[in-house]
Amino acid sequence: MSAINRRRALTGSAAVALGVPVLAACGGGSSGSTAVDPATSDGSSSPAGGGSSGDALASAADVPVGGCFVVSSAKIVVTQPTEGDFKAFSAVCTHQGCLVETSSDGDIPCPCHGSTFSLDDGSPLSGPASAPLAAVEITVDGGSITRA
Ligand code: FES
Distance CA 64, CA 121 (A): 16
Q: What is the pLDDT of residues 18-41, one digit of tens each?
A: 333 443 333 334 444 445 444 444
- Please give the distance, rounded to the nearest whole angstrom, from the Cα atom of residue 116 to the centre of ligand 1: 9
Ligand 1 mutation pick, 40, 42, 110, 130, max ligand atoms within 8 A of CB? 110
Ligand 1 mutation pick, 75, 89, 93, max ligand atoms within 8 A of CB? 93
Spell out where the chain has E strands.
56-59, 67-71, 76-82, 85-90, 108-109, 116-117, 124-126, 138-141, 144-147
Domains and CATH numbers, the chain: 27-147 (2.102.10.10)
Per-residue pLDDT tens, the chain, 148 aa: give them: 444 444 444 444 433 343 334 433 333 344 444 454 444 443 333 444 455 677 788 999 999 999 999 999 999 999 999 999 999 999 999 999 999 999 999 999 999 999 999 999 999 999 899 999 999 999 999 899 999 8
Provide the pLDDT for residue 3. 44
